[in-house]
Amino acid sequence: MTTAPDAGQNTERVEIFLPSTLGYEKVARNAAQAIAEEMGFSPDRIDDLKTAVAEACMNAIEHGNQENRTASVTVLLTAASEQLEISVADEGLMPMPDTFPTPGRPGEDNRGWGMFFITHLVDQVEFTRLPKGGNRVRMIIYLTPPTDAETTSTNAQQPQ
Amino acid sequence: MTTAPDAGQNTERVEIFLPSTLGYEKVARNAAQAIAEEMGFSPDRIDDLKTAVAEACMNAIEHGNQENRTASVTVLLTAASEQLEISVADEGLMPMPDTFPTPGRPGEDNRGWGMFFITHLVDQVEFTRLPKGGNRVRMIIYLTPPTDAETTSTNAQQPQ
Amino acid sequence: MAKGDVLFRQEGTLGLLDFPRDVTAQTRETAYSAYNELARAKVRTLALNFDSTDYMNSAGIGLVISLVEDATQAGRKVFAFGLASHYRKLFNMVGLMERLSLAADEQEVKTKAAENS
Amino acid sequence: MAKGDVLFRQEGTLGLLDFPRDVTAQTRETAYSAYNELARAKVRTLALNFDSTDYMNSAGIGLVISLVEDATQAGRKVFAFGLASHYRKLFNMVGLMERLSLAADEQEVKTKAAENS
Ligand SMILES: Nc1ncnc2c1ncn2[C@@H]1O[C@H](COP(=O)(O)OP(=O)(O)O)[C@@H](O)[C@H]1O
Ligand SMILES: Nc1ncnc2c1ncn2[C@@H]1O[C@H](COP(=O)(O)OP(=O)(O)O)[C@@H](O)[C@H]1O
């Protein structure tokens, strides 16, 4: 794992490794908040981002890493002048499904809203099963957000 | 850099790499807050910890790494059942002095209170010049804090 | 890493659930036992108090949906108060806003519950 | 990554400095230019308003010490208000509490400044 700064001249990168224990998603959520505040995002958008980041980390901990103590979650936060990108990768002990079920599973405490929040709260999102194993969620928010039409129609992508 | 969980059975470890840019100390500060809240520390103690962590990271960025873009700051947060340990290491482009000056440098905007805060706001602190280069500050706060007498007399150590 | 329990209070035909700081999957057990007490007491209005809540994740929101569905099926009117604007937005996204009424605070809930009793 | 400027306001012989959300080394320039305006206007009381401040680091506290020293040497009485309890603790640790008076809010500062004018 290298810690060299990103190739881009105007980007700054933070790398975080979390244990696969529920609750630690808040570390990534708080870290994203610190960077987004420094970048000047509005409080509303920061709240949206915090939920998306927490949900992506929870999924990595719970599903991708099966809460396995030896697996870790890698969170990369890359701040550029006009956007903040956050990628959350797990070790893929459970691979991401090709399609996500309809949100809300009655009878199971209506779980299943995480992916729905992730795809609706950030400007762009991409789900990938990594070639060397592991699942990754890449989320981007822009300081100048795209129009609503763009946001809702083009952001969600299933794993390739 | 390995991400294996700490040897201790009941410890959880978070690893963070920060760029050497002022402002990013807030990422570590917020991360420490998330863990300390989960552990049940009181709001006052969490505020103390946040200041100590921010100051240690600022020093690593500004002094140890000379705000050099190719250098990074490594923050390890290790949560055990009764204590939270946070270590902040830089690459030592500027080595830590053997003794720290009296806090407050008049004529220089009274800079120089960072070390004073670090040593007074956490329960234990240790400054080390690492054999392979780099400076490290290790800070510990306990869920059940030691008495005042212990805190003020035994916590500060100069680099060895 | 759980953060607090759901507590219940009953005032006549009004039942209140006081949610803790974190509302997550870990909140399930105390939420249901508190809700079941109020259901046994046959309250006609259910008020969800989120004054202390500052973290709610998708599992916590799913739990709230389940409670609201159960209460609605049992013919109870459901109110919520103390919700931060971000969580009002999330409640709206999952359709919860159509199944409950927002109140400004506990006082407003009490006034409205009196009309419903 | 700076976060806001120090602004100044003058009301008779009272000068107010409104500190931004972050008080750090980056706050230096606007703090001094705001302070210098008030000094030129010969205010007799200086009030530091920290209502909006939620992050102050050691460099920011050093800056406040410098401003307070300068004001005191010029014979001005210095007040501070809006300080969160953690920063009151830090101000105490660095000896600032002996060099300034805390006020509950802007109104109290105005009342006290009137006594000092
Ligand atoms: N990182 C991941 N690794 C493996 N499977 C995942 C991952 N993220 C999501 N999933 C799958 O997608 C489903 C829906 O996720 P989500 O909408 O977050 O709801 P929930 O986590 O409550 O089930 C999960 O139940 C899981 O099967
Ligand atoms: N990580 C570090 N690497 C090198 N030198 C350091 C480091 N931390 C502190 N120092 C030295 O100790 C001095 C005092 O630090 P501090 O009390 O934080 O005040 P300030 O940063 O305002 O100078 C610094 O000026 C610097 O010379």
* pLDDT per position as a tens digit, A75-131: 999 999 999 999 999 999 999 999 988 998 888 889 999 999 999 999 999 999 999
**Residue with the larger pLDDT of the pair B39 and D1:** B39
For residue B106, list chain D residues with Cβ-Cβ distance below 8 A.
66, 69
For ligand 2, is residue D94 a contact (CB within 6 Å)?
Answer: no
More confident residue, B7 or D50: D50
Q: How far is the CA of D22 from the centre of ligand 2 (A)?
A: 21
Question: Are B58 and B25 within 8 A, CB to CB?
Answer: yes
Residue B7 has pLDDT above 50, yes or no: no
Predicted confidence (pLDDT) at residue B9 exceeds the cutoff of 70 = no
Question: Average pLDDT, whole number, for chain B?
Answer: 89
**Tokens for B159?**
């680099």
Does residue B141 surpass a pLDDT of 70? yes
A51 CB near a chain C CB, below 8 Å? Answer: yes
pLDDT band at A149; cut points 50, 70, 90: low
| Residues above pLDDT 90, as percent of chain A | 77
Residue of higher predicted confidence among B7 and B71: B71
pLDDT at B107: 82
Asked if B21 is an interface residue toward chain D (Cβ–Cβ < 8 A), one would say yes
**pLDDT attached to residue B117:** 98
DSSP string spanning chain C?
A: ------EEEEETTEEEEE--SEESGGGHHHHHHHHHHHHHTT-SEEEEE-TT--EE-HHHHHHHHHHHHHHHHTT-EEEEES--HHHHHHHHHTTGGGTSEE-SSHHHHHHHHHHT-
Query: Which is higher by pLDDT, B5 or B80?
Result: B80
Cβ contact (<8 Å) for D58 and B58? yes
State the pLDDT at residue B8. Answer: 56
Would an 8 Å CB–CB cutoff place D90 in contact with chain B? yes
Q: What is the pLDDT along chain C (117 residues), one digit of tens a residue?
A: 446 899 999 999 999 999 999 999 999 999 999 999 999 999 999 999 999 999 999 999 999 999 999 999 999 999 999 999 999 999 999 999 999 999 999 999 999 998 877
Q: What is the ipTM of this complex?
A: 0.93
Which amino acid makes up residue A4? A
pLDDT (tens digit per residue) in D69-88 = 999 999 999 999 999 999 99
Q: What is the mean pLDDT of chain D?
A: 95
Q: How confident is the model at residue D115 (pLDDT cuts 50, 70, 90)?
A: confident
3-state secondary structure (DSSP) of residue B37: helix
Residue A66 has pLDDT above 70, yes or no: yes
Q: Give the pLDDT band (50/70/90) at residue A158.
A: low
Give dist(CA C59, CA A109) in Å, integer.
8
Q: Which CB contacts under 8 angstroms, 24+ apart, belong to B99-105?
A: B99/B158, B100/B158, B103/D94, B104/D62, B104/D65, B104/D94, B105/D62
CB of A22 within 8 Å of any CB in chain C? yes
> Mean pLDDT, to the nearest integer, of B50-54?
98
Q: Point out which residues pair with C10 in neighbouring strands.
A: C15
Contact state of D58 with B112 under an 8 Å Cβ cutoff:
yes
Partner-chain contact B3 A1, CB within 8 Å: yes
Check B113 against D61: CB less than 8 A apart.
yes
Residues in B touching A4 (Cβ below 8 Å) = 70
Distance CA(C91)–CA(C95), nearest Å, equals 6
Best of B15, B65, B78, B81 to substitute, by most chain A Cβ atoms within 10 angstroms, is B15
Answer yes or no: is pLDDT of A5 > 60: no
Residue B10 in this model has a pLDDT that exceeds 90: no
Ligand 1, residues at Cβ distance < 6 Å? A 55, 59-60, 63-64, 90, 94, 96-97, 100, 111-115, 135; C 58-59
| Residue A160, pLDDT score | 46
* A103 inside 8 A of chain C by CB: yes
* B57-106 per-position pLDDT tens digit: 999 999 999 999 899 999 999 999 999 999 999 999 999 999 988 998 88
Give the per-residue pLDDT at A120: 97
Both tokens of A67, joined, read 């809460």
The closest CB to that of B19, out of A5, A30, A69, belongs to A5
Q: Sorting pLDDT into bands at 50, 70 and 90, what band is A148? A: low
SS3 A86: strand
User: Cβ neighbours of residue A111 under 8 Å, at least 6 residues apart?
Assistant: A104, A105, C25, C58, C59, C62
Residue B147 has pLDDT above 80, yes or no: no
Predicted TM-score of the model (pTM): 0.92
